[in-house]
Structure 1
Amino acid sequence: MELHVVIEGDSDQTGQLYRQLKEAISAGHLPAGQRLPASRQLATQLGLSRKVVAEAYARLSYDRLVVGRIGSGTYVSDYGRRQPLAQPPPPLGGSQVAERWRGQPTSLRRGVLATASRARHELLPGRPDIQLFPQDEWRRCVIWGLRQASRAGLVYGDARGLPMLREAIARHVAFARGVRCTADDIVITNGAQQAIDLVARALIEPGCAVAVEDPGYAPARMLFAALGARVHAVPVDHEGMVVEQIPDGARLIHATPTHQYPLGMALSPRRRLALLDRARALGAIVIEDDYDSELRYSGRPADALQSVDDDGCVAFVGSFSKTLSPDLRLGYVVAPPSLLDAICNAKLLTDWHTSTPMQWALARFIDGGELLRHVRRTQQAYAARRERLGLRIDTVLSHWLERVPSVAGLHLSAMFRAPVDARRLVGHAWRAGVALESLDACQVRPGQRGGLMFGLGTIELAEVDAAVEMLRLSLAQLHP
């Protein structure tokens, strides 16, 4: 038989083949009992090495999707295939809750989808440059971390996290962000998203009010809604979140004071004090989502909102997804005293603790000065791309876009000067070879001014001009 498989480029050919065969089996295009081509035959057909095909078959075999028969070949198995139900299942008692989770937009899977189908030029926000990742330094730290974990007995660890890592983070955020804390105030999490989730679990019950920025960080907003909260979208202007519109009764406020997501401005000094006053009056907790503020390119470094919080109103959330890699899934929350024990218990009941070997590795990486050196190196690379991209937006794309001023972060945002069908534009640009995102998913209230986000981590400096020119052609074609 001849399989319909398309291999794009030279990267991860084994993974590409494995995923396409797995999808074909799951969809029923390759039925149980179907014999797959011999590895040598398929390799010749696809122009691959036999090793690539053999490894893909081995992964499918490990997943029990195929089975090898000595002297006969490799066949699709019937493992895991659902049998038709003899009768309809009974009504699900929790159907409303399940539907709330099932109804979350699939746009959250964009990272997986974009990896499977790469564009020629990528301007996707929120992704650091994987080519800048300090492979050698991190590898040495991981090996050291594995040794430490082995010596400790490879047992369950403290839900709060490894003491050495908490101490390293406490020193780092005090130096880099002005955060006032000790190791005892910190809980290690699987990325910033889990940190936000733990704070939410400790405070939210169905029907309570939560305030978020609009436009704002969609995964946090959707998480609060999925937990049953009434989510109130608070407008953002040139000074950041319009604090006066935070509703009465809000018990949780999600904000990005230093680098507003997705627009990029900082919360003004006046609004910072007003936000703390409003939280104090409401008895609310502010989640300060400090997602990429260490990447600063000009001006005096702005301290965290938590640094001026004297009433325990702020839960400072950070991660290493933007400075190192989102794949590491390492984050933390500096919890206010009123929430610390609740967050620790929520972490314990959710997943016990974050991977201990990775915590050892990160602690070594920070204490050895590698994190600061890496941030400085990446800042230089991103600064050059940011300057070039900003210049091209201000000139080549100025007929359609107005750039939002910002001094930090891993992306730039620009607003449309006139109404533009952003969804159609993004699709057209992607097909033309430029991957980027619009502000649509970040916006809640209807009628807001649209715009685009330009990531700095997924494009080389030499590619910027070509990517912008291709986007200009898409804009000119759709909105002359």
Structure 2
Amino acid sequence: MAFHVSLVGRGDLSGEIYRQIRQAILDGRLRPGERLSPTRELAAALTVARSTVTIAYESLVAEGFATSQAGAGTFVSHQLEAKRPASKTRRSTVRAVRVRGVWETILPPTAFARAADFDFRTGLPDASLFPHGAWRRVVSRAVRSREMAAGVYENPAGNRELRAAIARHIGISRSVSGSPDDVIVTNGTQQALDIIARVLLEPGDVVAMEDPGYQPPKHLFKALGTRVIGVPVDSEGLVVEALPAEARAVYVTPSHQYPLGVAMSLSRRRALLAWAERNNAVVVEDDYDSEFRFGGRPLEPLQTLDSAGRVVYVGTFSKTLLPTLRLGFMVVPPSLREAAQKAKFVTDWHTATMAQSALARFIDEGAFARHIRRVSRTYSERHQVLTAAIKSNFGDYLDLIPSSTGLHIAAYARRASVGHIDAIASRAFDLGVAFQRLSACRVDGKPQAGILLGYGAIETARIAEGLRRLRSCFDECVSRRPNAA
């Protein structure tokens, strides 16, 4: 790789070349064993005499930063690996650029930073169940597709075949009404929410969301300058009567409320839509894992019930396939279609063409539907095993919240406080057990003591041992620690 050297306005050209290459070696930009550009090539690139570069290289060799091999070239010395000093921060005397204060309130994601032997964290599917063979075949065909051969930018809304496949799939599996023109392919749910916010919200606008609720949207909306107000959730879902009248948008997870797991009742769904129409607001329906239903009748999505064009429906393939694919979608009402496509364009132009083409084939060939049927049987078994064990073995500590959808369950703590749960989570991780705390899902209300247990990533046979270890942590921490606020 050609190394960039700036000689604009510089004297002592040989010395400048030497100093910049030496600093790149010390910084680690040039690694031990890496070959430096031939003197003739670098001289031509810098429009200097070859002897100017040769003098610089000789100085690097003389000081041990490089080695010269006759007929092979000049290389960064391997002797520097053990003794390279830490690189200095760039110009410490320069005043640091200030960022907006909101970024001081947002922590980088750490929930999945470390692996766990007994992984009850939410939002994770079982990667071992992913149909790698079928996926490789559609990716191989996508590589040879006309879209890849053309080598041009994609429509910001997404691959036409994929949008049509998504529209058919959600029309059949979730009764969502929408044409391919209403579908926009996104890099996961979070980008869909970003697009919605760019299209609809001004700084200072109010966004209402469930409390407790999913944290990334809260951080996103705040980062864009809006005011986020939490609205309580009960056994029927979002409490519509508690919505602030000034809310411009409402973010909800009605099919499987995150984190509590309750489903929004039909009467609440209708009340929310009526509220949105009265208050000229938009409802963002995040249907993140409703493909997995293990009992009860499915309720119609808000988008299906909507007759006024107030609902933006958001879906993801992170739970059904893999989070690493970063593929999601949104179904927008016609009034938002053009603006949403423009917002997608200015954000990143379009989602990766090859992934879109592969997924379109995967859905159209029936592989996606077969995969959902197969993994649903596994997840249903884990759901049964986990809920039965919580009821029988944790009755003195936890009140399980009924749920028959998705990849996680939630439970309120009976005797344990938020402080207890924090201690339990820390102790459990030491024993190889990972779960998430209900208190971490607080929006702006009082944090609640409870736990979330996902069953997507843990093998069925390992659930019992994981819960046995978790039970020991409850016994240890609740009995020995005083109640914390």
Q: Report the Cα offset of residue 444 of structure 1.
A: 2.5
> Corresponding residue for 1:408?
405
> Is 2:335 the counterpart of 1:335?
no
Q: Counterparts of 1:370-385 in structure 2 under 5 Å? A: 370-385=367-382
* 8 A Cα contact 2:309 2:335, kept in partner: yes
Amino acid paired to 2:135: W
Q: Report the Cα offset of residue 440 of structure 1.
A: 1.8
User: For 1:72 and 1:232, how far apart are their aligned partners in 2?
Assistant: 58
Q: Counterparts of 1:34-183 in structure 2 under 5 Å? A: 73=78, 75-76=80-81, 81-85=87-91, 87-89=93-95, 92=97, 95=98, 97=100, 99-106=101-108, 108-111=109-112, 113-114=113-114, 118-149=115-146, 152-183=149-180
User: For 2:245 and 2:275, how far apart are their aligned partners in 1?
Assistant: 9
Q: Report the Cα offset of residue 426 of structure 1.
A: 0.6
Q: Report the Cα offset of residue 303 of structure 1.
A: 2.4
Alignment counterpart, residue 280 of structure 2, candidates 280, 283, 306: 283
> Corresponding residue for 1:232?
229
Alignment counterpart, residue 208 of structure 1, candidates 196, 205, 211: 205
User: For 2:464 and 2:32, how far apart are their aligned partners in 1?
Assistant: 45
Uncovered stretches (5+) of structure 1, i.e. residues with no partner: 1-29, 39-65
Q: Which string of whole-angstrom CA distances, capped at 9 and with x for unpartnered residues, describes residues 157-201 of structure 1?
A: 100101100000000000011001000001110011101110011
Q: Report the Cα offset of residue 412 of structure 1.
A: 0.8
**Per the alignment, in what secondary structure is the counterpart of residue 298 of structure 1?**
coil
> Is 2:306 the counterpart of 1:304?
no
Q: Counterparts of 1:304-323 in structure 2 under 5 Å? A: 304-323=301-320
In structure 2, do the counterparts of structure 1 residues 151 and 70 end up closer, same or farther at CA, with 3 Å as the change threshold? closer
Uncovered stretches (5+) of structure 2, i.e. residues with no partner: 1-24, 34-64, 68-73, 480-485
> Corresponding residue for 1:467?
466
> Corresponding residue for 2:427?
428
Amino acid paired to 1:100: V
User: For 2:369 and 2:86, how far apart are their aligned partners in 1?
Assistant: 47
Amino acid paired to 2:93: Q
Q: Report the Cα offset of residue 103 of structure 1.
A: 2.9
Q: Tell me the TM-score normalized by structure 2.
A: 0.81
In structure 2, do the counterparts of structure 1 residues 175 and 75 end up closer, same or farther at CA, with 3 Å as the change threshold? farther
Amino acid paired to 2:111: R
**Per the alignment, in what secondary structure is the counterpart of residue 211 of structure 1?**
strand
**Per the alignment, in what secondary structure is the counterpart of residue 187 of structure 1?**
strand
Amino acid paired to 1:428: R
Amino acid paired to 2:470: L
User: For 2:164 and 2:32, how far apart are their aligned partners in 1?
Assistant: 55
User: For 1:307 and 1:235, how far apart are their aligned partners in 2?
Assistant: 24
Name the count of aligned residue pairs.
414
Amino acid paired to 1:89: R
Alignment counterpart, residue 388 of structure 1, candidates 385, 395, 403: 385
In structure 2, do the counterparts of structure 1 residues 86 and 224 end up closer, same or farther at CA, with 3 Å as the change threshold? closer
* 8 A Cα contact 1:315 1:334, kept in partner: yes
Alignment counterpart, residue 322 of structure 2, candidates 321, 325, 336: 325
User: For 1:82 and 1:344, how far apart are their aligned partners in 2?
Assistant: 44
> Corresponding residue for 1:252?
249
Amino acid paired to 1:290: D
State the identity as a percent.
Answer: 42
User: For 1:67 and 1:307, how far apart are their aligned partners in 2?
Assistant: 68
Q: Which string of whole-angstrom CA distances, capped at 9 and with x for unpartnered residues, describes residues 265-306 of structure 1?
A: 100111000000011111111110000011111122222110
> Corresponding residue for 1:22?
none
In structure 2, do the counterparts of structure 1 residues 146 and 272 end up closer, same or farther at CA, with 3 Å as the change threshold? same
Q: Report the Cα offset of residue 74 of structure 1.
A: 6.2
In structure 2, do the counterparts of structure 1 residues 338 and 82 end up closer, same or farther at CA, with 3 Å as the change threshold? farther
Q: CA RMSD in A?
A: 2.5
**Per the alignment, in what secondary structure is the counterpart of residue 452 of structure 2?**
strand
**Per the alignment, in what secondary structure is the counterpart of residue 145 of structure 2?**
helix
User: For 1:31 and 1:469, how far apart are their aligned partners in 2?
Assistant: 51
Q: Report the Cα offset of residue 204 of structure 1.
A: 1.4
> Corresponding residue for 2:455?
456
User: For 1:150 and 1:183, how far apart are their aligned partners in 2?
Assistant: 18
Q: Report the Cα offset of residue 81 of structure 1.
A: 4.4
Q: Report the Cα offset of residue 332 of structure 1.
A: 0.5
* 8 A Cα contact 1:413 1:451, kept in partner: yes
**Per the alignment, in what secondary structure is the counterpart of residue 324 of structure 1?**
coil
User: For 2:325 and 2:270, how far apart are their aligned partners in 1?
Assistant: 34
Q: Which string of whole-angstrom CA distances, capped at 9 and with x for unpartnered residues, describes residues 396-455 of structure 1?
A: 111110111011001111110122422221111101110111112211244343111111
